[in-house]
Amino acid sequence: MTRTGVTRPRSAEPQPGDEPLRRLRPPLSLSSLGHWLTVPALTAMAATLTRDDALATRAQSVGLVLVAWLLPVLLAPVFGTAAARLDRRIALVAADALRAFLMLSVPVVDLLVTAVNPVLWTAIVAVLVSCAGMVWSAAAASAVEGVAAGVADDEDGTVGRAVRRRALRLVFGTAPLAALAFVLLALLADALLGGADRVHLVLYATAVVFGAAGAATAMLGGGLPGGEAEFPAPVAALLRREGGVPGLPAAVVGTVLPVAALLAVARVHVRVLGGGDPGYGALLLGLTAGLAYGVFAGPRLLAPLSRRRLLGLAVVAGAVALLVAALVTNLVVVVVAAALTGVCAGVAWATAAAVDDTPRPRALALVAALVAVVAAPPLAGILGDRRLGLGDAAYTFTGSGAALLAAAVLALVAGAVAHRRLDDRRGVPLRPDLAAALRGERYVPPREEPAEEQRARTERGVFIAFEGGEGAGKTTQSRLAAIWLRDHGYEVVTTREPGATKTGMRLRALLLDKETTGLSSRAETLLYAADRADHVANVIRPALERGAIVVSDRYVDSSLAYQGYGREQDVEEIAAVNAWATQGLVPDLTVLLEVPAETGLNRLSEPADRLESEPRAFHDRVLRGFRELAEAHPERYLIVDASRPQQEIRREIQDRIREILPDPVPAAAEDITSTFPAITDV
Ligand SMILES: Nc1ncnc2c1ncn2[C@@H]1O[C@H](COP(=O)(O)OP(=O)(O)OP(=O)(O)O)[C@@H](O)[C@H]1O
Ligand SMILES: Cc1cn([C@H]2C[C@H](O)[C@@H](COP(=O)(O)O)O2)c(=O)[nH]c1=O
């Protein structure tokens, strides 16, 4: 059972998606194992080849190999398009065979070809192996899509999604296995071989794994299904300036920096700490196992805590773990700190992907990783090893430790910025919020209300507005809130804008009809304001005056966001027009539901209306507008990450509404019963 009482399937039981993938499992696992093994194998080779050189040269050789391995990922769409033209089986087998051959070539060049610089050749192999890996990934993704699309009895796509998820787990889950295999091979090599040749064993082993993967693919019976896989271009995703979740870039940078910096200097750092390849492997094992655990556990971790808060916290915690790895000169402590860094980065990554499901976080992560891998090794070399005298004692501060320290400080700053900008529970203290989440509860802060405000509340009802972009879930959540309130004895009026009154319905038809062309932005603003004036005068105010709770799907903020930010008109002027139209009526609480524009628009099933048909840049400006409005008055807003499941969102909204509710039972009734009505979760 989970904390929330939901029974999770036991891992020993077959999962949906297992059976359709059964045939592809051996080649996918073997090839992925080989893929991840290439990283420690080639970096260890570079470190071994430069073992007698200065720290700067050693660090930069390892950095060069890592950069060479990462760079081709920028060209993923090119490889995706090229692979689509090839026969899938041939592409998979050829990519594995080429990688086996390339891995074998490294020791051969080292031992036999004196004319070629072996470090340079190792870096060239890293580029070529990575390119072949991209072709393999594209062909494998297409095969997995083919399997997912071909699942019988899968009308709602559940099994297809499970197939994709299982395939991803298979590919990324082999990374810790590769690190473990590297440790074992390094120990074996230490026991059996001597000198620089020791590192050759892992290169041979990687070649054998690729050979076995290619053979497993070649021997697959029957045809290999194919489907269309997507390969978003990382550079294009980054160049798109509109949209994006504020604070998310800082979170992504703060997530990636510690992992990339550790990878870049781990081999030289471990040597400084007195470890060889087995120590390097142990550090990689800790980091990758932590990452895998964090990615898979992240979505369920501290479920009652806001995902945006969790993201900021995970980034800060990862930076602190890296700080420990940088400062402590004990290999075991560093391996444990690397594992914690991995867990935090995994949790942060899973959470960031839930907050922004566009290709942007992935693109930014790739660029941040490249920058870190390029910068960390030379920084380690420049800073060099230093001995600090502390009275009788001395502390040796290594160059690699200093580079990790710099990365940790930067990640800490990025984490703090991310926490500040992403936080959707402003005004709610973090410590009790976190403590309650650790107990599996959601924290509801006590609210002290000035006497004047309390009196004003008893004299009128409560006004709650739901705001957000298209398809954010305003209608769904405002209805759920109204049902919950009615269940607890309140009179609730649910309403919406535009179109709550007879005149409003005509205005709505006019405003949303795509046939309404050439309407000026000012006229549009005034028509929305006219609808609102009628709405307030005939629906909202009368309901509030008789003490009802009014729940409105959209209100003034929609005009400020759409006509102000979206149409790029003066927001202050629109606010003034609307203050006049509503006679200054401001909601007691505005629930802002945030989803990326693409997600929201994709949720809509009806043909797009006049406003929904506006370009993506318009909707991105609208979303930015909503957030800025909410951030200006955090005390009367609840910002909700609306990309989560409906029931999670519902609970978060109920918790916040509870804080502003008047007592639903008339005072006279209370005198009789002497009990207060309990508000319980539905
Ligand atoms: N959290 C959620 N996750 C996934 N789908 C959701 C979620 N909330 C709502 N939906 C679905 O998204 C669609 C749009 O939801 P809804 O009508 O509530 O959004 P809206 O913000 O009112 O849209 P509009 O901008 O058209 O007024 C519906 O099909 C709804 O079932
Ligand atoms: C109140 C208000 C609304 N809009 C826009 C926003 C939407 O595109 C439509 C309303 O349709 P929905 O199904 O209720 O989401 O109108 C606006 O531009 N300005 C406003 O003030």
Q: Which residues pair with 552 in a beta bridge?
A: 465, 495
For residue 248, which of 406, 434, 414, 425 has the smallest C-alpha distance? 414
Judgement on whether residues 410 and 481 belong to the same structural domain of the protein: no
Q: Which atom of ligand 2 is nearest to the CA of 474?
A: 15
The finding on whether 554 has its CB within 6 A of some atom of ligand 2 is yes
Q: Residue 133 has what pLDDT?
A: 95
Interval between CA 590 and ligand 1 midpoint (Å): 17
Judgement on whether residues 227 and 238 belong to the same structural domain of the protein: no
The finding on whether 498 has its CB within 6 A of some atom of ligand 2 is yes
Answer yes or no: is 8 within a domain: no
The count of domains in the chain is 3
Interval between CA 518 and ligand 2 midpoint (Å): 18
Count of C-beta atoms within a 10 Å radius of residue 538:
15
Domain membership of residue 647 as a residue range: 451-673
Kind plus residue range of the DSSP H or E element containing 639? strand 637-641
Residues 6 or more apart whose CB falls under 8 angstroms from that of 276 comprise 186, 190, 270
Tell me: is residue 468 an annotated ligand-binding position: yes
In one letter, which amino acid is 289?
A: A
Tell me: is residue 461 an annotated ligand-binding position: no
Query: Coil, strand or helix: which one is 536?
Result: helix
Q: Which atom of ligand 1 is nearest to the CA of 642?
A: 1
Q: Which bin fits 441, alpha (ψ -120 to 50), beta or left (φ > 0)? A: beta
| Domain at 519, CATH number | 3.40.50.300
Judgement on whether residues 396 and 421 belong to the same structural domain of the protein: yes
Count of C-beta atoms within a 10 Å radius of residue 177:
18
Answer yes or no: is 400 within a domain: yes
Interval between CA 432 and ligand 1 midpoint (Å): 32
Q: Which residues pair with 547 in a beta bridge?
A: none
Place of tokens 């729940």: 551
| Domain at 174, CATH number | 1.20.1250.20
Lowest mean pLDDT among 105-109, 245-249, 316-320, 324-328: 245-249
Q: Whose CA is nearest to atom 18 of ligand 2?
A: 562
Answer yes or no: is 47 within a domain: yes
d(CA 154, CA 17): 11
Q: 280 vs 17, 343, 573, CA distance in Å?
A: 35, 18, 62
Answer yes or no: is 9 within a domain: no
Tell me: is residue 449 an annotated ligand-binding position: no
Judgement on whether residues 143 and 157 belong to the same structural domain of the protein: yes
Residues 6 or more apart whose CB falls under 8 angstroms from that of 528 comprise 497, 498, 507, 511, 558, 559, 562, 563
d(CA 590, CA 556): 10
Interval between CA 564 and ligand 2 midpoint (Å): 13
The finding on whether 612 has its CB within 6 A of some atom of ligand 2 is yes
Last residue of a domain, one of 231, 255, 277: 231
d(CA 10, CA 284): 28
Last residue of a domain, one of 206, 231, 256: 231
Judgement on whether residues 227 and 241 belong to the same structural domain of the protein: no
In one letter, which amino acid is 189?
A: A
Tell me: is residue 399 an annotated ligand-binding position: no
Q: 615 vs 29, 171, 474, 561, 621, CA distance in Å?
A: 42, 37, 21, 15, 10
Q: Is the pLDDT of residue 533 over 50?
A: yes
In one letter, which amino acid is 176?
A: P
Q: Whose CA is nearest to atom 8 of ligand 2?
A: 611
DSSP state of 562: I
**Highest-scoring range by mean pLDDT, 160-174, 260-274, 522-536, 640-654:** 522-536
Q: Is the pLDDT of residue 235 over 90?
A: no
Interval between CA 648 and ligand 1 midpoint (Å): 14
ipTM associated with this complex: 0.98
Judgement on whether residues 354 and 215 belong to the same structural domain of the protein: no
For residue 463, which of 508, 494, 424, 420 has the smallest C-alpha distance? 494
Judgement on whether residues 532 and 631 belong to the same structural domain of the protein: yes
Answer yes or no: is 80 within a domain: yes
For residue 465, which of 506, 443, 497 has the smallest C-alpha distance? 497
For residue 464, which of 455, 456, 450, 474 has the smallest C-alpha distance? 474
Judgement on whether residues 539 and 660 belong to the same structural domain of the protein: yes
On whether the CB atoms of residues 203 and 100 are closer than 8 A, the answer is no
The finding on whether 497 has its CB within 6 A of some atom of ligand 2 is yes
Please write the tens of the pLDDT for every residue from 178-229. Answer: 999 999 999 999 888 877 678 899 999 999 999 999 999 999 877 777 777 7
End-to-end CA distance of the chain: 20
Q: Whose CA is nearest to atom 5 of ligand 2?
A: 611
How large a percentage of the chain has pLDDT more than 70?
88
Tell me: is residue 471 an annotated ligand-binding position: yes
Q: Which atom of ligand 2 is nearest to the CA of 562?
A: 18
Interval between CA 472 and ligand 1 midpoint (Å): 5
Sheet of 589-594, strands arranged across? 492-496, 549-553, 462-468, 589-594, 637-641
Answer yes or no: is 10 within a domain: no
Please write the tens of the pLDDT for every residue from 27-42. Answer: 999 999 999 999 999 9
For residue 648, which of 493, 485, 334, 437 has the smallest C-alpha distance? 437
What secondary structure does DSSP assign to 271-292, as a single string?
Answer: HHTT--HHHHHHHHHHHHHHHH
Answer yes or no: is 5 within a domain: no
Please write the tens of the pLDDT for every residue from 295-350. Answer: 988 888 888 888 889 999 999 999 999 999 999 989 999 999 999 999 999 999 99
Answer yes or no: is 288 within a domain: yes
Judgement on whether residues 190 and 269 belong to the same structural domain of the protein: no
The finding on whether 559 has its CB within 6 A of some atom of ligand 2 is yes
Judgement on whether residues 348 and 205 belong to the same structural domain of the protein: no
Judgement on whether residues 636 and 624 belong to the same structural domain of the protein: yes
Average pLDDT, the chain: 87
For helices 158-192 and 118-149, angle between their N-to-C axes, nearest 10 degrees:
150
In one letter, which amino acid is 18?
A: D
Count of C-beta atoms within a 10 Å radius of residue 100:
24
Please write the tens of the pLDDT for every residue from 60-78. Answer: 999 999 999 999 988 888 8
Last residue of a domain, one of 231, 252, 280: 231
Ligand 1 contacts (CB < 6 A) are 468, 470-476, 603-604, 642, 645-646, 649
195-230 burial by CB neighbour count: b if 16+ within 10 A, else e? ebebbbbbbbbbbebbbbbbbbbeebeeebbbeebe
Judgement on whether residues 177 and 45 belong to the same structural domain of the protein: yes
Q: Which atom of ligand 2 is nearest to the CA of 610?
A: 8
For residue 268, which of 170, 380, 127, 431 has the smallest C-alpha distance? 380
The finding on whether 611 has its CB within 6 A of some atom of ligand 2 is yes
For residue 211, which of 86, 94, 87, 39 has the smallest C-alpha distance? 94
